[in-house]
Amino acid sequence: MIPRDHNKNAVSDTKSLSGGERSYSTVAFLISLWSCVDHPFYFLDEYDVFTDEVNREYMTRLLIDEGRKRPLRQYSFLTPQDMALMSEDFIKILRLGEPERG
């Protein structure tokens, strides 16, 4: 059975996904890859720019849970979005100051 109204291209082609669906798929794929490799540092840039607030929060929780499972690794996530997270010992949020425009 092929989902999405029997349209083969909708399943096999990422062009049919919305920006948020692509972002979620990318994060899920990266988490699965990260479980197969052992490096001390992992970086992810702007993983949430095309998502709505609900999916952005869900993806962020997935990434935080991944970091919680592997405390000897360092994860860095760069985003232009507001990071309203609960304070925890292993989470550090660094914010750049507003740019000076003149």
Given a contact cutoff of 8 angstroms between Cβ atoms, the answer to whether 66 and 31 are in contact is yes
72 or 96, which is more confident?
A: 72
Amino acid code (one letter) for 9 = N
Given a contact cutoff of 8 angstroms between Cβ atoms, the answer to whether 24 and 56 are in contact is no
Q: What confidence category does residue 2 fall into, taking pLDDT thresholds of 50, 70 and 90?
A: very low
* pLDDT score at 52: 85
44 or 1, which is more confident?
A: 44
pLDDT in tens, 75-94: 888 888 877 776 677 777 77
Cα 89 from Cα 98, distance rounded (Å): 26
DSSP labels for 3-56?
TTTT-HHHHH-GGGS-HHHHHHHHHHHHHHHHTT---SEEEEESTTTTS-HHHH
pLDDT in tens, 27-77: 999 999 988 888 899 988 888 888 888 888 888 889 888 888 888 899 888
**Is the pLDDT at 10 greater than 60, yes or no?**
no
* pLDDT score at 82: 78
